[in-house]
Structure 1
């Protein structure tokens, strides 16, 4: 991890580098990128739900065509990729920082509250690592193959688009991939359970008037959105197996 610290050092990036490498800077950037990713997930879920339409993949493929060719969406997408990278890097740096601090604190017998925070940070670090690996595999299997792979084509009303529906259906027919996908969604759920409200608290948006609502919304979001993502491959696999 030393190369990350050196790359984001105050010398290399000036005052911004100093901000990024400070404890508050890491947490603020984690919160901002986390909220951006939180707003993206429901949009991505709505698109994925198009796979459940009984139209041979037409609605999903047209959705994918729009998302990959609209200029505004493309800018948002590249911003999203950058956010994922920054979120992952800052998360790993915070994990390392908290792990080091935890070892030093235990040497002087820290309080139970500090130990609990360190334990929570460790769990978030492991969950974040699992999710980063999943995202990389997910982008390799679908996004990169769409850009560079031999994806079949489909025609709808004279419009020829890439048939991304077919490779997704093939992947969701594999029980191993479905299991990995569902386990990753469980990890996302646990990550969001803590991260949703933590992001608002880090940015100072934790007023007593609405923090109770944010906590409730965060827990609802942490359950419903990952469940929606996990439901799709399970349903597709069950349909292929003739379960329903």
Structure 2
């Protein structure tokens, strides 16, 4: 099959799943903003995205996207290393920032995956999963309560900010490279896509970091 048997096909799958994940991360950032400006609205969103059939289907679809993206990333990395052979041990000049991200996408992905595991334990496992299992104390739809609990821990903002920095490098390179994999690699569009990707990624990640700081301050001051 073309999507699995050719390098171009595998890169296309990476690009498609990456695009879906970028859109999800953007949505998640906007959802977190609701928690800052309208706590009751955030809890309403959490109730809407609880153990309802449509939310469960979306969660399973998102999980499949993550798994496919990770599997294909490892697959392409091993393929590239095999193709380079001993050349990867040659000493080369220090690459530029984006080139560094390109050479370390797998490592960045592992850091993001570790951060994701922490995030799932702190929120998904205590909210949607708890609701599925019939656990109602504390209320799994009270998202503000779980934000307060998570960000009352001193390690939470540190772990999150490290994860957000890794996400910036990963998304910044991945944004324009997914279009490049689809053939948008000419001298006119590629610089534009790099600029758009940098702005998009920077805005999302900066908002995430600001949100983590605000959540931490409010949790420490008992403002939730």
TM-score tier after normalising by the smaller chain length: 0.7 to 0.9
Distance in 2 (CA, whole Å) between partners of 1:151 and 1:182 is 30
Shift of 1:207: 4.4
1:104 to 81, 86, 89: 86
Q: Note if contact 2:81-2:88 (Cα within 8 Å) is conserved in structure 1.
A: no
Ranges in structure 1 where 5+ consecutive residues have no aligned partner: 1-14, 154-160
Shift of 1:208: 4.4
The answer for the alignment partner of 1:215 in structure 2 is 194
Determine whether 1:135 maps to 2:125. Answer: no
Shift of 1:206: 3.3
Shift of 1:67: 2.5
Q: Secondary structure at the match of 2:185?
A: coil
Q: Secondary structure at the match of 2:104?
A: helix
Q: Note if contact 2:151-2:157 (Cα within 8 Å) is conserved in structure 1.
A: yes
The answer for the alignment partner of 1:37 in structure 2 is 21
The answer for the alignment partner of 1:83 in structure 2 is 65
Assess, with a 3 A threshold, how the Cα gap between structure 1 residues 207 and 76 changes in structure 2: closer, same or farther. farther
Q: Note if contact 2:172-2:201 (Cα within 8 Å) is conserved in structure 1.
A: yes
The answer for the alignment partner of 1:93 in structure 2 is 75
RMSD in angstroms over aligned alpha carbons? 3.0
Summarize deviations over 1:102-161 as a string: whole Å, max 9, x none: 443357x6997xxx99965441110011111211221232112211255523xxxxxxx7
Mapping 1:200-239, distance limit 5 Å: 200-239=179-218
Q: Note if contact 1:102-1:118 (Cα within 8 Å) is conserved in structure 2.
A: no
Distance in 2 (CA, whole Å) between partners of 1:204 and 1:151 is 51
Distance in 2 (CA, whole Å) between partners of 1:100 and 1:35 is 27
The answer for the alignment partner of 1:124 in structure 2 is 105
2:11 to 27, 30, 37: 27
Summarize deviations over 1:73-109 as a string: whole Å, max 9, x none: 54443322211111111112222223333443357x6
Q: Note if contact 1:197-1:215 (Cα within 8 Å) is conserved in structure 2.
A: yes
Assess, with a 3 A threshold, how the Cα gap between structure 1 residues 106 and 49 changes in structure 2: closer, same or farther. closer
Distance in 1 (CA, whole Å) between partners of 2:137 and 2:210 is 25
Assess, with a 3 A threshold, how the Cα gap between structure 1 residues 106 and 127 changes in structure 2: closer, same or farther. closer
Q: Secondary structure at the match of 1:50?
A: helix
Summarize deviations over 1:169-221 as a string: whole Å, max 9, x none: 11112121110001100000011111100000001133444433322110001
The answer for the alignment partner of 1:8 in structure 2 is none
Q: Note if contact 1:172-1:236 (Cα within 8 Å) is conserved in structure 2.
A: yes
Distance in 1 (CA, whole Å) between partners of 2:118 and 2:11 is 26
TM normalised by structure 1 equals 0.76
The answer for the alignment partner of 2:138 in structure 1 is 152
Aligned residues between the structures:
216
Radius of gyration: which is bigger?
1
Distance in 2 (CA, whole Å) between partners of 1:215 and 1:46 is 23
Return the structure number with greater relative CO, CA threshold 8 A, min gap 6. Answer: 2
